Amino acid sequence: MSHSKHLLIKSIYQRNIERTPIWIMRQAGRYLPEYIATKNKAGGFMSLIRNPELACEVTMQPLKRYSLDSAILFSDILVVADMFNMNLRFEDKKGPIFDNPIRTEADLKKIPSQLDISKLSYVNETIKNIKGELNESLPLIGFIGSPWTVATYLIEGNSTKQFAYVNEMLKSNPSLLVKILEMITKGSTDYVKQQIENGVDALMIFDTWGGLLSKENYEKFSLSFIQKIILSTKKDGVPIIYYSRSKSNFAELKKLDINCVGISSENNLGEMYKFFDKKFAIQGNLDVDILKEDESTIKKEITKTLDAFPFKSGHIFNLGTGITPDIHPDKVAYLVDQVKELSIK
Ligand code: CP3
């Protein structure tokens, strides 16, 4: 894999590149009218994810419009809950919902002790379809959520930003939390292996809510479980991108066996690169709201972002968070073209 011809992979391994690669978190999403049309045809977001033909179709939609440097599997970090027999559904404007969240030992006992990875076999079909469509022209990024970030949804049951139940469990029943994290880690390890066997070229770990934890708890409740997943899959040679919306707390990350760190817009690309002793490539981090401005402002901000990383390789251009439904598709075309032009080495 480290000999890959793909620009994305070359930049992750900090090999010589002719320009900076770019892809966009949530690039197949609601800002694209063709995505909305396919989602409606499928009968909603979950039905779309579970339909390997249509999930492949929406994965390819942004690549038909823009000359991006990678595909990303169309799915969600919460599908791992299929293995826990927890019914994931999405409501418009509310996001993910689990009607039976895990908040007690009794709730946890209802989860099968033998996790059945075949519950996620539809993802295998989606990956095979995408790999066939891409025909090695671009790499495919697979992904999971970190056990901690997934746990916040399994415990809260929705996407509240209060995290009342999670914080309560951290304080009063950390051993239950550890058991939940161990279960998610077991399922995620099998799920990662399955994605790699089916041909994903890189793996991204979304630890969106890692920044909620104190320094000590971050290591104990998030990074240690991520490291377990990495150690049991790393021998397969797929590079790993770690993403967190955190502003600080990054020192503990140095110990992780990863290849790239995805950062949000509050952080500085070059400073982060040096902070990690140039050990990891850095992905990010244009503020998505910049894409609501006019082209000259967007260009200025792209230049600023590129200038923040004045090194030969090791930058993967992206937004700081996922793209939102309020962005006009033409602004994305402008972004991709400008990054390609302005970053020529
Ligand atoms: O990036 C991609 O294009 C790949 C697909 C992908 C989705 N979600 C599709 C999606 C990936 C990698 C994710 C990751 C994900 N999912 C995260 C981590 C990254 C992040 O955004 O912080 C989290 C926390 C989730 C859980 C989730 N999924 C929430 C909280 C929501 C609702 C809020 C929102 O942003 O819409 C989703 C919905 C979701 N996931 C959509 C898509 C395209 C929109 C659903 C729709 O079309 O109705």
Give residue 239's region: left, alpha or beta (phi > 0; psi -120 to 50): beta
pLDDT, residue 235, reads 66
CB of 159 closer than 6 angstroms to any ligand 1 atom: yes
> What pLDDT is stored for residue 192 in this prediction?
97
Q: Given ligand 1 and candidates 46, 66, 72, 77, which is best to mutate, with the most ligand atoms within 8 Å of its CB?
A: 77
Structure tokens at 207: 């630890």
CB distance 336 to 22 below 8 Å: yes
Q: Give the per-residue pLDDT at 1.
A: 53
- Ligand 1 within 6 A of CB of 28: yes
Residue with the two structure tokens 């930003």: 161
**DSSP H or E run through 261:** strand 260-262
Q: What is the pLDDT of residues 289-316, one digit of tens each?
A: 999 999 999 999 999 999 999 999 999 9
With vertex at residue 189, the alpha carbon angle to CA 39 and CA 171, rounded to the nearest 5 degrees, is 90
76 lines ligand 1 (CB under 6 A): yes
Helix (H, G, I), strand (E, B) or coil at 139: coil
Cβ 208 under 6 angstroms from ligand 1: yes
Cα angle 130, 132, 138 (rounded to 5 degrees) comes to 70
What CA dihedral angle connects 199, 143, 93 and 161, to 10 degrees? 170
Residues found in the chain? 345
Q: What distance in Å separates the CA atoms of residue 223 and residue 254, rounded to the nearest whole number?
A: 11
Query: Measuring from atom 42 of ligand 1, which residue has the nearest CA?
Result: 29
Query: What pLDDT sits at residue 218?
Result: 94
Look at residue 287 in the predicted model and tell me its pLDDT. Answer: 98
Residues lower than pLDDT 50 in the chain: none
Ligand 1 in contact with 30 (CB < 6 A)? yes
Q: What is the pLDDT of residue 93?
A: 87
**Span 154-184, pLDDT tens digits:** 999 999 999 999 999 999 999 999 999 999 9
Which residue's CA lies nearest to atom 7 of ligand 1?
A: 76
Contacts of residue 226, defined as CB under 8 A and 6 or more positions apart, other chains included, come to 146, 147, 205, 207, 242, 256
Distance 277 CA to ligand 1 centre (A): 31
The atom of ligand 1 lying closest to the CA of 143 is 12
- d(CA 344, ligand 1 centre) in Å: 31
Residue nearest to atom 41 of ligand 1 (CA): 29
What is d(CA 127, CA 102) in angstroms, rounded to the nearest whole number?
30
DSSP label of 323? P
Instruction: For ligand 1, say whether the CB of 132 is within 6 Å of any of its atoms.
Output: no
pLDDT, residue 315, reads 98
Rounded to the nearest angstrom, the distance between the alpha carbon of 345 and the centre of ligand 1 is 33
